[in-house]
Amino acid sequence: MKIVGLMSGTSYDAVDVVAAEFTVEGDTLWLRPLGHRSLDHDEELRGEIGAVLPPAATTVEAVCRLDNRLGAVFAEAAAVGVELAGGAVDAVVSPGQTVFHWVDDGVVRGTLQLGSVARVAARVGVPVLGDLRAADVAAGGQGAPLVPAFDALLLAPEAGDAAPRAALNLGGIANITVVAPHAPVLGYDVGPANALLDAAARRFLDRPCDVDGAVAAAGRVHPGLLRLLLAEPYYAAPPPKSTGKELFHGGYLDDRLAALGEPVPVEDLLATLTVLTATTVAAECARHEVTEVVAAGGGVRNPTLMSRLAELAAGRWRLRTTDELGVPTQAKEAYAFALLGWLSWHGLPGALPSVTGAARAAVLGSWTPAGPAYRGGPAVAPPRRLRVRA
């Protein structure tokens, strides 16, 4: 089965596209990567997404326009995925752009992703899976993270394995999956990875990000600011938990700087935010006593962040990337969503209750049909009329 997976994360700078072929041999599912691309969002689209994100106010009109604009973008990305697969696929997974994750006293009440799935299905002519988080939320879960289903299979212990390992994703938010023999899989959002770094770069450098962590590398950690940031209650909350830019946004950073009451040079600010991410991630790895951390996501391209992580990992766990396991670091989440599509297609749950806190394991997403490739039951001829039988 060939599936295209799409992903636009909390950094909302691009849509990652992958094509994957899945085959089953006994109890092993084989993934053959067929290619991946990253298609950058233009400045106008990034501005439109940022304009609807909390804490900004917005309108239903703006949300509707953005939903359809993103749908067109994802449709073109899906077409690129079909090309990567050689011109034909069985399905597309388009999870959309998360614009709000409604958390009330630690309980997720709802979640909203934009990107008209009907436009994607119309463009590629195959069934498209969207709205992947809602089923888990309806079952009492966080609706996130969903990638641990992929991590659990990729890091599944072999006979004789005894130590826990972790998968780490460094996107806008850092999230971790802990896989240990004879134990439920754990996974949750740790805190900001690139979210606050990118917010600071936009605010003080007028750039979308600090490329290669170069400015952060020139700075020094500000101890007072770091203490203030580490006092965030989210870090102490027990899992299951999830977060996003509804908490860690530019306004959040402004509030902490105002509370500090003294100016912080931009290079020191970025250095401190880098260490914040490394410190919070390392604390969770130490808590679970992992022996290996396999990292992926945009943060892997930041050598300053990776070096801070490596310093904290020294002598405690091995740090490497998913590239060594055959999964490109920049495309891992898109491949994970392709896997969730395969699971859903076969009626298998994709969310892990031990991760999300749901009451039951949910089959994820809603399928949008497109053309004759999709059938929910046995083939029938189209009816010509409707009559009512008493």
H/E segment holding residue 344:
helix 332-345
215 Cα distance to chain centroid: 26
Does residue 379 register a pLDDT over 80? no
Record the tokens describing residue 388, joined without a space.
Answer: 């009512």
Does residue 386 register a pLDDT over 70? no
Distance between CA atoms of 353 and 365, rounded to whole angstroms? 16
Candidates 326, 266, 324, 333; CA nearest to 299 is 333
Instruction: Provide the percentage of residues in the chain whose pLDDT is more than 90.
Output: 85
Q: What is the pLDDT of residue 377?
A: 55
Q: Do domains 2-147+332-373 and 159-328 have the same CATH topology?
A: yes
DSSP 301: G
Does residue 355 register a pLDDT over 90? yes
Name the pLDDT band for 7 (thresholds 50, 70, 90): very high
Given its phi and psi angles, is residue 369 left (phi above 0), alpha (psi -120 to 50 degrees) or beta?
beta
Does residue 375 register a pLDDT over 80? no
Record the tokens describing residue 73, joined without a space.
Answer: 């973008």
pLDDT digits (tens, 9 = 90+) for 327-343: 999 999 999 999 999 99
Distance between CA atoms of 105 and 71, rounded to whole angstroms? 32
Q: Are 223 and 262 in contact (CB under 8 A)?
A: no
Name the pLDDT band for 9 (thresholds 50, 70, 90): confident
Amino acid letter at 236?
A
Q: How far is CA 377 from CA 26, 92, 372, 380, in A?
A: 27, 20, 12, 9
Q: What is the pLDDT of residue 113?
A: 97
Q: What is the pLDDT of residue 383?
A: 64
Tokens 């969310």 correspond to what residue? Answer: 351
Q: What is the pLDDT of residue 372?
A: 52
Residue 306: HSE in the Cβ half-sphere, 13 Å Cα cutoff: 18
- Residues ≥6 apart with Cβ < 8 Å to 99: 49, 52, 53, 63, 66, 112, 113, 114
Distance between CA atoms of 6 and 93, rounded to whole angstroms? 6
pLDDT digits (tens, 9 = 90+) for 171-188: 999 999 999 998 999 999
Q: What is the pLDDT of residue 380?
A: 64
Distance between CA atoms of 26 and 325, rounded to whole angstroms? 21
Q: What is the pLDDT of residue 378?
A: 60
Mean pLDDT of the chain: 93
Does residue 356 register a pLDDT over 90? yes
Distance between CA atoms of 313 and 96, rounded to whole angstroms? 34
Q: What is the pLDDT of residue 384?
A: 72
Strand ranges in 44-96 using DSSP code E only, listed in sequence order? 91-93
Record the tokens describing residue 372, joined without a space.
Answer: 């004759």
Domain ranges of the chain: 2-147+332-373, 159-328
Name the pLDDT band for 158 (thresholds 50, 70, 90): confident
Domain 2-147+332-373: assigned CATH number: 3.30.420.40
Instruction: Provide the percentage of residues in the chain whose pLDDT is more than 70.
Output: 96
- Please tell me the class of the 159-328 domain: alpha beta
The Cβ of residue 60 has, within 10 Å, a number of other Cβ atoms equal to 7
pLDDT digits (tens, 9 = 90+) for 59-112: 999 999 999 999 999 999 999 999 999 999 999 999 999 999 898 888 899 999
Against a cut of 0.75, is the pTM above it?
yes
Does residue 58 register a pLDDT over 70? yes
Does residue 15 register a pLDDT over 60? yes
Q: Are 187 and 355 in contact (CB under 8 A)?
A: yes
Amino acid letter at 231?
A
- Residues ≥6 apart with Cβ < 8 Å to 319: 292, 293, 295, 306, 309, 310, 313
Name the pLDDT band for 275 (thresholds 50, 70, 90): very high
User: What is the rounded (10 degree) CA torsion for 367, 373, 379, 385?
Assistant: 80
Helix axes 60-84, 117-124, angle to 10 degrees: 30
Strand ranges in 154-271 using DSSP code E only, listed in sequence order? 165-170, 173-179, 186-192
Name the pLDDT band for 376 (thresholds 50, 70, 90): low
Does residue 373 register a pLDDT over 70? no
Does residue 245 register a pLDDT over 90? no
Distance between CA atoms of 12 and 83, rounded to whole angstroms? 23
Does residue 246 register a pLDDT over 90? no
